[in-house]
């Protein structure tokens, strides 16, 4: 065991420790014991230093006493030649002992200081890790709650709907099977409001919520496609009124309207469609406002809100759906021209609703997940005041903005997957830095637009310019998007949050480059991530800087998230294969998720990813650890299989 005091800073700057890359799963089991061992080692070193100091003191005392006796003899002129020689030797020994005593005293002091710091850090980081684990448990709880689903079908049962009634009946078991693969905790209750038109026999046939698919199938089998009231439009308003009487109670709530003709009321259809007998009630269903009933239904949505979905069979309902949208009553529309699409459409709708419920629950909770990983940092949390101004500054406006000196940080290039590992760590204490966290600093200049042009749940986005000198700011080459957190803490906390964002992007970019080298199917687009730099401005302001997305002709899309959801409207084999690749390339240590950005020709350009990792102390608050990584991997494989891309 070394007798030299070990500095925390020395350790952080490069002590490699034990390599756990081949089996990262042992980290979680070993880290608590290793932390205790580390503190115990300091305690033992302190004990040995104090023992050495005591021995030096005792030795010095013995020599001083001997020296005093010899000095007395010398003063009385009774000291022998041998005793005089002994006095000279003792004098040299005492000088050396004084040096040793000073060194021992310093060693004891250093060990005591390091022990206090190591105990404090171990305790603090243990608390931080516990807090992070509680946050992850909260998210898992939100997911499980969101997987309790009430799904109500508002089903047109008039004469033209035979094939859709049959498809509704036969699809439900397949829906449960599909959704359970991506959401293992699914607890589904289903209800039906079968509607026809005013004056029809069996105007409404209703099944309240039941967890039994068999009960649902028997009820739908009993429905007959008949009636229609003698005109084309149907009593959808009455159907929504009946939906308000159902026993809604689950967290995720979905109303799925299946109709081939619109509701009563002339504003809900194109007047060019009008013919005799098209709508006997052009003023709407007597005594019922469909918008009022729909808003009542929305209020029954609970904390997560009611999700409205519409199965589009013909274009005849397009005007109705547009009118609802203008009233703030927006439907997710899926194509049901082919009844065989119903199973996939409903499965996708349920998954989407679950994902939205999780998002709403997370945003309404007091959890700080996703706001940075400095959970126990001291200092007041403040929220920035801002106004969104979407327009980009003009050339004259740019010139009027001050060019301020800034420090720009970038990660050192990653050369191999091994650079992503962190050497042995205890809790949140990482006793070495992975290559992906090492940075290079450059002095530059920046102009920042006064107001943000966009906002997300946690961050604001400003237009900006960065250059080596003030003259370089005049060109468009330095155009950047500068992102900052809405909530700010003390500077050291902010710095860590921004560096974590940069590290996530750097690793994602590296893994995308590795993926693009693979022998993937020829039609699979390349994956690219925007490079990210961290900028420190005057006054302790921090930003993540990146290039603008190449958005010409492309819409910004959210393709996946970090809790296992995939946007099936924009599903793509290459995105799925990339996510799977990141998991396999790192031997299950981490996975790149939360894919969002634009399709630009034969490539995706993505931004703001999240990394899930077995070491949940890294990569900021969006790293939700092993359980959510397993869930994301399962959903990715399910999407590949459902689309026939698993060969």
Q: For residue 338, what are the contacts with CB-CB under 8 A and spacing of at least 6?
A: none
User: Is residue 171 a contact partner of residue 179, using CB atoms and an 8 Å limit?
Assistant: no
Name the domain boundary from 110, 143, 176. Answer: 143
- Token code pair at residue 515: 């993926």
**Is residue 274 scored above 90 in pLDDT?**
no
**Is residue 384 scored above 90 in pLDDT?**
no
pLDDT score of 24: 35
**Residue 36 resides in a domain:** yes
User: Is residue 157 a contact partner of residue 196, using CB atoms and an 8 Å limit?
Assistant: yes
Beta-bridge partners for 417? none
User: Is residue 604 a contact partner of residue 598, using CB atoms and an 8 Å limit?
Assistant: yes
**Residue 485 resides in a domain:** yes
pLDDT score of 429: 30
- Token code pair at residue 59: 């030795």
**Is residue 424 scored above 60 in pLDDT?**
no
- Token code pair at residue 155: 């089903």
**Residue 146, SS3?**
helix
Q: For residue 536, what are the contacts with CB-CB under 8 A and spacing of at least 6?
A: 406, 407, 409, 495, 542
Query: Interhelix angle for 625-642 vs 573-585, to 10°?
Result: 140
Confidence of residue 259 (pLDDT cuts 50, 70, 90): very high
Express as a percent the part of the chain with pLDDT over 70.
83
Looking from the CA of 42 toward its CB, the CA atoms found within 13 Å total 22
Least confident window among 21-25, 355-359, 578-582? 21-25
State which of 214-223, 300-309, 440-449 shows the largest mean pLDDT. Answer: 214-223
pLDDT score of 436: 62
What burial letters (b/e) apply to 324-351, b meaning 16+ CB within 10 Å? beeeebebbbbebeebebbbbbbbbbbb
**What does residue 406 show for φ and ψ, rounded to 5 degrees?**
-140, 160
Task: Give the mean model confidence (pLDDT) for residues 73-84.
Answer: 83
Cα→Cα distances 314→154, 311, 317, Å = 17, 9, 7
Least confident window among 121-125, 330-334, 428-432, 518-522? 428-432
| Same-domain check for residues 175 and 138 | no
**Residue 441 resides in a domain:** yes
For every residue of 87-118, DSSP letters joined together read HHHHHHHHHHHHHHHHHHHHHHHHHHHHHHHH
pLDDT score of 438: 61
State the CATH number of the domain containing residue 530.
3.30.200.20
| Same-domain check for residues 72 and 163 | no
| Same-domain check for residues 500 and 569 | yes
**Residue 374 resides in a domain:** no
pLDDT score of 553: 61
Enclosing domain of residue 341:
147-364
**Is residue 591 scored above 90 in pLDDT?**
yes
Least confident window among 253-257, 278-282, 424-428? 424-428
Cα→Cα distances 359→173, 373, 445, 457, 634, Å = 27, 19, 38, 10, 20
**Model confidence pLDDT, tens digit, residues 425-436:** 222 233 345 566
**Is residue 483 scored above 90 in pLDDT?**
yes
Least confident window among 124-128, 285-289, 407-411, 522-526? 124-128
What does DSSP assign to residue 159? G
| Same-domain check for residues 103 and 232 | no
**Is residue 203 scored above 90 in pLDDT?**
yes
**Is residue 423 scored above 50 in pLDDT?**
no
Domain count, the chain: 3
**Residue 316 resides in a domain:** yes
**Is residue 469 scored above 90 in pLDDT?**
no
User: Is residue 621 a contact partner of residue 370, using CB atoms and an 8 Å limit?
Assistant: yes
| Same-domain check for residues 152 and 125 | no
**Is residue 209 scored above 70 in pLDDT?**
yes
| Same-domain check for residues 343 and 242 | yes
| Same-domain check for residues 430 and 533 | yes
| Same-domain check for residues 36 and 138 | yes
**Residue 369 resides in a domain:** no
Task: Give the mean model confidence (pLDDT) for residues 399-406.
Answer: 91
| Same-domain check for residues 358 and 436 | no
Confidence of residue 103 (pLDDT cuts 50, 70, 90): confident
**Is residue 479 scored above 50 in pLDDT?**
yes
**What does residue 431 show for φ and ψ, rounded to 5 degrees?**
-80, 20
| Same-domain check for residues 443 and 592 | yes
**Residue 464, SS3?**
strand
Residue with tokens 């404090």: 120
Q: For residue 169, what are the contacts with CB-CB under 8 A and spacing of at least 6?
A: 216, 217, 220, 221
**Model confidence pLDDT, tens digit, residues 36-71:** 566 666 667 767 767 777 776 787 788 888 878 888
pLDDT score of 243: 97
Cα torsion 323, 324, 328, 332: sign: negative
Cα→Cα distances 506→228, 414, 511, Å = 60, 8, 9
pLDDT score of 492: 58
pLDDT score of 432: 43
**Is residue 220 scored above 80 in pLDDT?**
yes
pLDDT score of 617: 79
Task: Give the mean model confidence (pLDDT) for residues 303-309.
Answer: 87
**Residue 647 resides in a domain:** no
pLDDT score of 28: 38
User: Is residue 493 a contact partner of residue 377, using CB atoms and an 8 Å limit?
Assistant: yes
Q: Where are the beta strands (DSSP E) in 181-337?
A: 187-195, 204-210, 252-259, 306-312, 332-335
Task: Check residues 222 and 469 and name the one with the higher pLDDT.
Answer: 222
**Residue 332 resides in a domain:** yes
Task: Check residues 386 and 39 and name the one with the higher pLDDT.
Answer: 386
- Calculate the average pLDDT of the chain: 83
State the CATH number of the domain containing residue 133.
1.10.287
| Same-domain check for residues 59 and 193 | no
Confidence of residue 87 (pLDDT cuts 50, 70, 90): confident
pLDDT score of 21: 33
Cα→Cα distances 303→44, 103, 366, 556, Å = 55, 65, 14, 27
Q: For residue 8, what are the contacts with CB-CB under 8 A and spacing of at least 6?
A: 114, 117, 118, 121
| Same-domain check for residues 476 and 598 | yes
Question: What gap in Å lies between CA 259 and CA 439, rounded to an integer?
Answer: 58
**Residue 441, SS3?**
strand
Question: What gap in Å lies between CA 160 and CA 182, rounded to an integer?
Answer: 34
Name the domain boundary from 364, 392, 408. Answer: 364
pLDDT score of 85: 84
pLDDT score of 127: 72
Name the domain boundary from 99, 118, 143. Answer: 143
**What does residue 346 show for φ and ψ, rounded to 5 degrees?**
-70, -40
- Token code pair at residue 177: 């099977």
């Amino acid at each position: 065991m070394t007798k030299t005091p070990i500095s925390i800073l020395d350790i952080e700057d490069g002590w490699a420790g034990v390599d756990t890359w081949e089996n990262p799963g042992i980290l979680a089991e070993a880290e608590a014991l290793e932390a205790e061992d580390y503190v115990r080692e300091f305690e033992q070193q302190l004990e040995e230093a104090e023992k050495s100091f005591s021995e030096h003191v005792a030795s010095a005392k013995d020599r001083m006493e001997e020296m005093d006796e010899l000095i007395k003899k010398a003063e009385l002129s009774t000291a022998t030649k041998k005793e005089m020689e002994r006095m000279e030797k003792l004098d040299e020994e005492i000088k050396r002992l004084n040096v040793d005593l000073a060194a021992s005293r310093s060693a004891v002091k250093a060990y005591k200081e390091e022990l206090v710091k190591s105990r404090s850090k171990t305790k603090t980081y243990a608390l931080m890790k516990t807090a992070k684990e509680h946050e992850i448990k909260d998210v898992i709880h939100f997911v499980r709650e969101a997987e309790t689903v009430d799904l109500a079908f508002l089903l047109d049962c008039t004469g033209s709907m035979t094939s859709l009634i049959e498809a509704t009946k036969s699809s439900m078991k397949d829906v449960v099977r599909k959704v359970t693969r991506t959401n293992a905790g699914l607890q589904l209750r289903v209800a039906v409001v079968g509607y026809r038109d005013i004056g029809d026999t069996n105007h409404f046939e209703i099944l309240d919520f039941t967890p039994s698919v068999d009960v649902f199938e028997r009820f739908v089998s009993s429905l007959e496609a008949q009636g229609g009231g003698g005109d084309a439009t149907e009593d959808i308003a009455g159907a929504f009124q009946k939906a308000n009487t159902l026993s809604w109670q689950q967290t995720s709530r979905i109303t799925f309207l299946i109709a081939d003709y619109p509701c009563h009321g002339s504003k809900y259809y194109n007047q060019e469609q009008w013919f005799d007998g098209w709508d006997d009630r052009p003023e709407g269903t007597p005594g019922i406002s469909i918008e009022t009933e729909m808003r009542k239904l929305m209020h029954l949505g609970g904390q997560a809100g009611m999700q409205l979905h519409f199965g589009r069979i013909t274009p005849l309902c397009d005007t109705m759906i547009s009118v609802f949208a203008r009233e703030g009553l927006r439907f997710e529309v899926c194509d049901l021209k082919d009844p065989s699409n119903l199973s996939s459409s409903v499965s996708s709708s349920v998954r989407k609703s679950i994902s939205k419920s999780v998002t709403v629950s997370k945003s309404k909770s007091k959890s700080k997940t996703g706001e940075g990983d400095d959970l126990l940092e001291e200092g007041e949390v403040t929220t920035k005041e801002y106004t969104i101004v979407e327009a980009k500054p003009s050339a004259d406006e740019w010139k009027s903005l001050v060019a301020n000196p800034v420090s720009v940080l970038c990660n050192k290039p990653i050369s191999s997957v091994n650079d992503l590992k962190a050497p042995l760590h205890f809790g949140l204490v990482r006793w070495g830095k992975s290559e992906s966290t090492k940075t290079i600093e450059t002095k530059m200049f920046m102009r920042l637009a006064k107001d943000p042009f966009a906002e997300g749940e946690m961050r604001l986005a400003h237009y900006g310019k960065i250059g080596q000198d003030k003259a370089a700011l005049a060109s468009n080459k330095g155009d950047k998007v500068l992102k900052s957190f809405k909530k700010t803490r003390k500077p050291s906390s902010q710095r860590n949050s921004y560096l974590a964002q940069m590290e996530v992007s750097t690793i994602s970019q590296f893994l995308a480059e590795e993926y693009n080298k693979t022998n993937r199917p020829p039609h699979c687009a390349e994956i690219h991530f925007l490079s990210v730099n961290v900028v420190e401005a005057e006054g302790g302001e921090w930003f993540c800087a990146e290039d603008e997305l190449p958005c010409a002709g492309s819409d910004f899309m959210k393709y996946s998230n970090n809790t296992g959801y995939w946007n099936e409207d924009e599903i793509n084999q290459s995105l799925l294969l990339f996510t799977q690749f990141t998991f396999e390339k790192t031997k299950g240590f981490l996975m790149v998720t939360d894919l969002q950005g634009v399709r630009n020709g034969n490539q995706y350009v993505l931004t703001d990813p999240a990394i899930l990792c077995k070491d949940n102390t890294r990569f900021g608050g969006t790293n939700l650890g092993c359980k959510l990584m397993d869930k994301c991997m399962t959903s990715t494989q399910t999407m590949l299989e459902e689309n026939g891309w698993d060969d």
